[in-house]
Structure 1
Amino acid sequence: MNHRVQDSYKWVVLSISFLMMMCFALSLQVLPPLFEQIMKEVSFSNSQAGILMGAYAIPGIFLPFLVAYLAIRFDIKKLIIVALLIMIGGLTAFSFVGSFPLFILFRLMAGVGATVLVVLAPLLITMFFDRNRMGIGMGIFNMAVPLGTVLAANFSGLLGQVFGWRVMLQGVAGFLGLVLLFVIIALSLPKSNDSNGSSGDSRPKFKGSMSLWFLVAIWTLANAQLLAYVTFGPQFYQSIGLGERAGFLTSLIMLASIFLAPIMGLLFDKTGRKKPFFLMGNLIILISFAFLAANFFGLPLWAVALGVGFAPIPVFVFTLLPETVKPHEIGMGMGMLTVASNLGTTVGPPVLGSMLDQTGGNFLISFIALAGVSAAIIALTFGLKTGGLGRKN
């Protein structure tokens, strides 16, 4: 593949990576709007509904390192194909069964395939985008999950009322089937994965730099903060009389990323700097949570500001990873970020929920705590030093 063809082909790879993350987001978020319909056929509690959502993330805590290892030893394209087949099987089987234990089983099955996609999708981008274009690549890539989340939240419930929840799940499985076909036809990877250091049996073992651990800590805290806010944000806005707009105001933290993530990536590439934008984003989040806690004038403005502040965070994390590890460590680094994301997702909401329970639903204390998370992320940022594929940050 000559340089000109490879330069254009990287956009095909980016499209595939984007669609892989759309598969992840749609299969994750399709359920909540359908729960009311599902419960009419299969009786289960709200807490069990939460278990169904959490079951999808459980494989993401235990499997990423195995996936990263398999990416070194085996053909990445084949792993992606198998992952999509597993997800399609899990979604389709879920749509036909009628008991809660089987729901859990097939939700876990879909989560296994999703974990593979979450690790390998960004890895594909690091294989085809050099550091001078990594920002725009990761910026576009990080639009996928917010877009999939918003589409599922706004349309799966409505379409489910028309076609039924089982057909909706089968429809998502059909979309995954189209992505699978696209992967089979369009994805072409080098025989030896030199770009992620997988060639040869004499590869150095994974050690992990201190900067990588700082980045993992940052990503864990960011996900814990995000999911805690998304979980209890509607309750906060309802408590201050904005019930009719509670869902929309909470979703702004995700909606903003759809539009701002590629802009952030472009700024990273054009300026050659990342930390200033990242630090500014976290400072905006810190201030926004402080003002929300104090019920400061213009609350919708601070809801928007949270989205603006969050936009650079995922782009920064995935763009900086190749610069904090050696080339052969990128796969394992992606695995560590996947574990971090799932740990944050698992821990954040219950911790904030417990805080609300212990303070009688006091959002002043809870949101100040979320502002403190941003302060911790800012402090950790100063420990990041690059030394892998690039050095400029």
Structure 2
Amino acid sequence: MAAICIVLLLINAFSQIDRILPFILAEKIKGDLELTDTEMGLLTGLAFAVCYALLSLPLARAADRGSPRLVLVSCVLIWSVMTTLGGFAASFMFLALTRFGVAFGEAGAVPAGHALIGRKIGPERRGLAIGLFAMGIPLGTMAGFAAGGAIADVFGWRVVLMGAGGIGVLIGLLTIFVAGPTPSLPRISSRDEPFLRTSLYLLSSSAFRWLFAGAVFLGFAGAPFYAFSIPFLIRTHGFTATEVGVSFGMLQGLMGILGTLGGGRWFDHAVRSGSGRVLGPPAILFLIASTTTTAALFAPTGWMSIALFVPGMLSFSFMLPWGFGAAHLIAGPGRQAQATSLVMIASGLAGPALGPLVVGIVSDAATAADVPNGLGLGLLIVPLASALAGIVYMITNQRIATFLRRQ
């Protein structure tokens, strides 16, 4: 278990680094390529989200039916090469195309990783394994924000993208040897189901539909938060990229580690309790975070704003093992990767595609009208979506308990 979890953690960490680098580099990219906030919203949102969400299902199906290791290694190499190419961008269109390529590769990483976990690790320890895998996200966020901002201040944003992509290629090649052969699943009916039938089976469950709906609101909260919180702190409170990268990145990393590991252990405990109520704690945390994030957008000082962002940081990472673990419980053997990909589509399509774009449009309109704190006004979509996610997950909590009692 240890070896595969370490490899998956590294993969997820560099997936997150390559995903979030445009956030910390946004102001430098915007100035160098002469982009607007709306274009940055398209670049960090639509250009990535559509490809990421739509490709996750077929790649998940390939991982469920074939070799998760092959899917995983191929995806790592694709997104790493495209990240490197992003460092050569001289226009919005070229950079957007590289982000499509990054999204293509990253779309299969989480489903393939979950397929490996599903085949190699028993249900009683799966929550911890998912939590360790998910811990790559906060570690990658911490490294991307802190190192990315500092390196960009000295060497420029292009060097950051090229370096991150090169390291990712090495990790992809290493994975071939470390992951090892993947055990075959017994020939069960769920593996023989057509792609569409499996998806319809999952969505026919009321519990899964509510989980799916909650993930949609999660996407509308998380994507704008990560796309524009750094530019908000730089513009509104005068931080440098290095300062905000280190402070925000370190806090995000710490909250992410606490959230994924603590959430994974807590989820395992909830499963062993037999109550079936496996989403109550993250639902409550989202409701708390909606209040503190609203306050952060209007805080008088930068450090107060960062401190008030902390519950939001924790809520996103804490939800990862709960959300994916709940999807696995509903899906059953042979469908875990596809269930994961459906949750990823819910959280990774509409919210990331439209959320940052809406924030960018509101910010540009406010700036044109000389309205202060335009970016903060646009970011109000984050606490609104967090509150809605909390409410929906409260309902989902009961639906999953009912579903599991009937099994």
TM-score by length of 1: 0.80
SS of residue paired to 2:399: coil
Bigger shift: residues 46-55 or 343-352? 343-352
Give the 3 Å change call, closer, same or farther, for CA 289–165 of structure 1 in structure 2. Answer: closer
Matches within 5 A, 1:229-378: 229-230=225-226, 252=251, 255-270=254-269, 272-273=272-273, 278-290=279-291, 293=294, 303-343=309-349, 344-349=351-356, 361=377, 367=383, 370-378=386-394
Q: Return the alpha-carbon distance in structure 1 between the equivalents of residues 39 and 379 of structure 2.
A: 26
The DSSP-based 3-state class of the residue aligned with 1:327 is coil
* Counterpart residue number, 1:384: 400
1:44 alignment partner in structure 2: 35
Question: How far off its partner does 1:65 sit?
Answer: 1.6
Q: Secondary structure at the match of 1:132?
A: helix
Give the superposed CA RMSD.
4.0
Structure 1 gaps of 5+ residues are 1-9
Q: Could you tell me which residue of structure 2 aligns to residue 4 of structure 1? A: none
Which of 159, 165, 188 is the equivalent residue of 2:157?
Answer: 165
Partners of 2:32 and 2:294 in 1: how far apart?
41
**Inter-CA distance 88–163: structure 2 relative to 1 (3 Å threshold):** same
Q: Which moved more, 1:79-88 or 1:252-261?
A: 252-261
1:56 to 48, 63, 87: 48
- Separation in structure 2 between the aligned mates of residue 92 and residue 24 of structure 1, nearest angstrom: 13
Cα distance between partner residues in 2 of 1:86 and 1:313: 28
Task: Return the offset for 1:225.
Answer: 2.3
- Report the identity percentage: 22
AA at the equivalent of 2:264: G
Is 1:107 paired with 2:99?
yes
Task: Determine the C-alpha separation between the residues in 2 that align with 1:392 and 1:268.
Answer: 20
Q: How many residues align?
A: 381
2-side partners of 1:202 and 1:132: how far apart? 29
Find the aligned partners of 2:106 and 2:131 in 1 and give their Cα distance. 21
* Matched-pair contact (CA < 8 Å) for 2:15–2:106: yes
Q: For 2:219, give the aligned amino acid.
A: N
Letter of the 2:22 partner, please give it.
L
The reply on whether 1:188 has 2:203 as its aligned counterpart is: no
> Cα 1:275–1:47, aligned 2, differ >3 Å: closer, same or farther?
farther
Structure 1: distance between partners of 2:406 and 2:264: 15
Preserved contact between residue 261 and residue 315 of structure 1 (Cα < 8 Å) = yes
Please say which of residues 76-85 and 19-28 is displaced more in the overlay: 76-85
- Contact 1:59-1:112 within 8 A present in 2 as well: yes
The reply to whether residue 210 of structure 1 matches residue 206 of structure 2 is yes
Compare 105-114 and 304-313 and name the one that shifted more. 304-313
The answer to whether residue 55 in structure 2 is matched with residue 87 in structure 1 is: no
Query: Matched residues in 1 for 2:276 and 2:263: separation?
Result: 12
Q: Is the Cα–Cα contact under 8 Å of residues 78 and 105 in structure 2 kept in the other structure?
A: yes
| Letter paired with 2:260 | A
Check conservation: 2:60, 2:337, Cα contact below 8 A: yes
For residues 349-374 of structure 1, what are the alpha-carbon distances to aligned partners after superposition, in whole Å with 9 as ceiling and x for unaligned? Answer: 55678899899949999846643442
- Whichever residue aligns with residue 2 of structure 2, its letter is W
Deviation larger for 378-387 or 352-361: 352-361
Distance in 1 of aligned mates of 2:101 and 2:112: 18
For residues 107 and 333 of structure 1, do their structure 2 counterparts lie closer, same or farther at Cα, with a shift above 3 Å needed? same
The CA deviation string for residues 332-354 of structure 1, in whole angstroms up to 9 with x for no partner, is: 21220121121233344556788
With over 3 angstroms needed to count, the CA separation of the structure-2 counterparts of 1:255 and 1:386, relative to structure 1, is: farther
1:64–1:119 Cα contact (<8 Å) kept? yes
Cα distance in structure 2, aligned partners of 1:111 and 1:74: 21
Cα pair distance change 1:228/1:391, threshold 3 Å: farther
Q: Which amino acid in structure 2 is aligned with residue 42 of structure 1?
A: L
Q: Contact (CA 8 Å) 1:18, 1:144: kept in 2 or not? A: yes
Give SS of 1:32's match: helix
Task: Determine the structure 1 residue equivalent to 2:119.
Answer: 127
Matches of 1:49 and 1:153, distance apart in 2: 17
Q: CA–CA distance in 2 between the matches of 1:67 and 1:256?
A: 30
Q: Check whether the contact 1:127–1:195 (CA below 8 A) recurs between aligned residues.
A: no
Aligned CA distance change for structure 1 residues 366 and 325 (closer, same or farther; 3 Å)? closer
Instruction: Decide which of 11, 14, 18 is 1:27's aligned counterpart.
Output: 18
Structure-2 separation of matches of 1:366 and 1:77: 35
Q: 1:35-75 CA distances to partner (integer Å, 9 max, x unpaired)? A: 44445553333322222222122212211221122224432
Aligned to 2:216: 220
How far is 1:26 from its partner?
0.9
- The answer to whether structure 1 residue 67 and structure 2 residue 73 are counterparts is no
CA deviation profile, 1:182-226 (whole Å, cap 9, x unmatched): 211111233634499776689994121332222222222223223
Unmatched 5+ stretches in structure 2: none
Q: Does 1:141 align with 2:133?
A: yes
- Matching residue's letter, 2:268: D
Letter in 2 for 1:280: P
CA contact (8 A) 1:282 1:310 kept: no
- Higher relative contact order, chain-length normalized (CA < 8 Å, sep 6+): 2
Q: Give, in angstroms, the shift of residue 113 of structure 1.
A: 0.7
Which amino acid letter does the alignment assign opposite residue 216 of structure 2?
Answer: T
